[in-house]
Amino acid sequence: MQITNHANLPAAIVNAVRNDPYNAGACDISVTRLIGPPQIRVLEREHAEDLTEDASDRIWSLIGQIGHGILERAESAAIAERRLFADLAGWRISGQFDRMTIEDDGTLSDYKFTSVWAVADGIKPEWEAQLNILRWLATQNGYPPIRRLLVVAILRDWSKGKARQGHPYPPHQVKVLPVPLWSLDETRHYIIERIQLHKFGDECAANGDPLPQCTEAERWAKPTTYAVRKPGRKTAIKLHDNEDDALTHSAEIPSGYVEHRPGESIRCADYCAVADYCAQRSAEIASREGTANDAKRAQAEAA
Ligand code: SF4
């Protein structure tokens, strides 16, 4: 992965991004990769030489690293920047604790620098999996029993003004979220399943077969909706997930009309480094363009 500087950022920032010391260590797979889609892992490996990322897209990650460093002031009992290893199902897994503490009562807290949006629906499934796997790894490496998991989310884009407007916006810039605790056996089975899935991805790549597709959740997919609107009103009267329902509804409203709001896979569109090499993404774009053309044709015929 090459870091570019299209935004012409100061050299100090670009160098700080380029000198990121991240290293997954001698392992078959890191926890982050294990949780992630096999398709991304395979495509990143196959196109490692060609992939680029602009330094301007790494600023939040840089700020997170700064934050973890600053938190070192707080306590000395934290497990910071430590990488743990364990073997399972023929693979060596490694996981890094960016900044975690294990209290005497067995509470493991993970400090995350994230956005308000990221915690809007509570714990993200990938955080739940990550922390439970790290707990399993800690157990394998002789740490004391962990009985409770917490994410301490530091909300980088939190606004006092929005907080004043009240619920559901978080009232403070730090939000503590309890993480559902899996049994160690359940976690072990989850890890084995993920390893098998990634091994299958590797086999597909080796045989030239289509790669396992990313799921809707992995693509952060937003569904297509049909908004019933009328002139002079800023917001939609109602959002439908079905075009026929929207057309029937709009016909009941004087001057009502339907606005087609195409769905999008947010990760593919903006956050996936291998999107340019992904057959699934190309197929999705082609399908969306086909649907848009069909809609234009239908509108023209109706006019
Ligand atoms: S572009 Fe989308 S579908 Fe393709 S690998 Fe990335 S997340 Fe998965």
Ligand 1: atom nearest CA of 37 is: 8
Look at ligand 1, atom 5, and give the residue with the nearest C-alpha: 40
Ligand 1 binding pocket includes 284 (Cβ within 6 Å) = no
Measure the CA dihedral 22/28/32/35, to 10°: 170
In the chain, where the domains are located: 2-207, 216-302
Cβ partners under 8 Å of residue 61, min gap 6 = 17, 20
CA dist 176 → 10, 66, 172, 194, 279 (Å): 35, 20, 10, 28, 39
CATH, domain 2-207, list 3.30.300.30, 3.30.413.10, 3.40.50.300, 3.90.320.10 = 3.90.320.10
Ligand 1 binding pocket includes 151 (Cβ within 6 Å) = no
Ligand 1 binding pocket includes 100 (Cβ within 6 Å) = no
- For residue 77 the two structure tokens come to 């009992």
How far apart (Å, rounded) are the C-alpha atoms in residues 202 and 33? 13
Q: What is the secondary structure of 45-78 as a DSSP string?
A: HHTTTT-EEEGGGGHHHHHHHHHHHHHTTT-SSE
**pLDDT tens track, the chain, 303 positions:** 888 999 999 998 888 888 877 666 788 999 999 999 999 999 999 999 899 888 898 888 888 777 777 776 666 555 556 788 999 999 999 988 766 666 777 888 888 889 998 898 889 999 999 999 999 999 999 888 889 999 999 998 999 999 998 778 899 999 999 999 999 999 999 999 999 999 999 999 999 999 999 999 999 999 889 999 999 888 999 999 988 999 999 999 989 999 988 889 999 999 899 999 999 999 988 887 777 677 667 556 655
Ligand 1 binding pocket includes 41 (Cβ within 6 Å) = no
Ligand 1 binding pocket includes 37 (Cβ within 6 Å) = yes
Distance between Cα 152 and ligand 1 center (Å): 29
Instruction: Give the single-character DSSP code of 230.
Output: -
Distance between Cα 281 and ligand 1 center (Å): 6
